[in-house]
Amino acid sequence: MAVIIAPGRSLDRVGDGETHGLGYERVDGDPNVAVLLATMDATAGWEATRRLRVWERDQLRLDGGKRLLDVGCGLGDAALALAEDLGADGEVVGVDASAAMVDVARERAGAARCHVRFAVGDALALDEPDDRFDVVRSERTLQWLTDPQAAVHEMARTLSLGGRISLIDSDWSTFTLDVGDDELAGRVREAMRTERRRPSDVGCRLPELVRAAGFEVLAATSATQTWSGWDQDRSPAPDGCFSMSSLADDLVDVGQLPPADRERFVSTIHQAARDGRFSMALTMFAVTGG
């Protein structure tokens, strides 16, 4: 399967078995870097992602000359969409830990009307001046950081007086997988609550992070991404998601699944998908503060 990630550039998805442990802490150097980049395009197409980005744009109502910083900007598509509201004298800066992500973002920035700069950097130590930006945003990045609150404080440092902060993130403790097997669904739900020992439930904590950084919450919303089926002939994993073998490996790692049950676990899910009994859901949250 080829996934277009930039004009004139396409990436081949690697096989189902190679996606174990996919994560966005260290994209560069990951043997699956191509999958990580392609997955960003797939998740940008999720209905929930699109709805939250439209909501954010409506809340921010950016206009000419404003300066926007996107922390953990990934492929840059959300920042570039917001750039359309800034006029020719606006400025967009995107920072991401991954040079591979930043390279694609730079390629995509060609058509932007305002000044755009994408740079490699760390959300926990931004190489940007104090009081510089009118809006600082971060989407689906806090969940990959060791200290999300420290990152929100760092974002606040770069905001000018009266500036606004905008956060979007998933809460993986809301993840459900329904394949007509309650015991299997329970294991997945339990494992997701402590998923990979990272702050994967940060989505529901966004208002708390915003308040702790000295802002009032201006607006908040959520959207649930649902997968009501999965065609295994078209894709080795549900759209924009990890493979079921990778999920099984993670469950084995956290002691939720005996290694001997791994194959049965994966085949139960695959069979349910073939029989039209497969569904998944994940809730994402968004908040603006000022």
Ligand X SMILES: C[S@@+](CC[C@H](N)C(=O)[O-])C[C@H]1O[C@@H](n2cnc3c(N)ncnc32)[C@H](O)[C@@H]1O
Which lies closer to ligand X via its Cβ, residue 99 or residue 212? 99
Give the range of 8-16, 60-68, 135-143, 208-216 binding ligand X by CB under 6 A.
135-143
Alpha carbons within 13 A on the beta-carbon side of 177: 27
Q: Does 163 bind ligand X (CB under 6 A)?
A: no
Minimum distance, C-beta of residue 144 to ligand X, in the bound complex (Å)? 4
Q: Looking at beta carbons, which pairs linking 240-246 to residues 24 or more positions away fall under 8 Å?
A: 240/39, 240/42, 240/43, 240/45, 240/46, 241/280, 242/19, 242/22, 243/16, 243/17, 243/19, 244/269, 244/270, 245/16, 245/17, 245/19, 245/20, 246/19, 246/20, 246/21, 246/22
Strand partners, 159: 133
Query: 121-153 burial by CB neighbour count: b if 16+ within 10 A, else e?
Result: bebeebebeeebbbbbbbbbbbbbbeebbebbe
Q: Does 98 bind ligand X (CB under 6 A)?
A: yes
Give the range of 80-88, 136-144, 156-164, 225-233 binding ligand X by CB under 6 A.
136-144
User: Using the rule CB under 6 A, which residue among 11, 27, 42, 62 binds ligand X?
Assistant: 27
User: Using the rule CB under 6 A, which residue among 139, 154, 169, 201 binds ligand X?
Assistant: 139
User: Using the rule CB under 6 A, which residue among 97, 155, 188, 210 binds ligand X?
Assistant: 97
Give the range of 57-65, 71-79, 194-202, 211-219 binding ligand X by CB under 6 A.
71-79
Q: Does 192 bind ligand X (CB under 6 A)?
A: no
> How many residues make contact with ligand X (CB under 6 A)?
21
Which lies closer to ligand X via its Cβ, residue 101 or residue 272? 101
Residue 11 CB contacts under 8 Å (≥ 6 apart), including other chains: 2, 3, 5, 34, 35, 37, 38
Q: Does 74 bind ligand X (CB under 6 A)?
A: yes
Minimum distance, C-beta of residue 97 to ligand X, in the bound complex (Å)? 4
Q: Does 40 bind ligand X (CB under 6 A)?
A: yes
**Nearest one of 179, 173, 288 to 228, comparing CA atoms:** 179
Which residues contact ligand X (rule: CB under 6 A)?
24-25, 27, 40, 44, 72-74, 78, 96-98, 101, 122-124, 139-141, 144-145
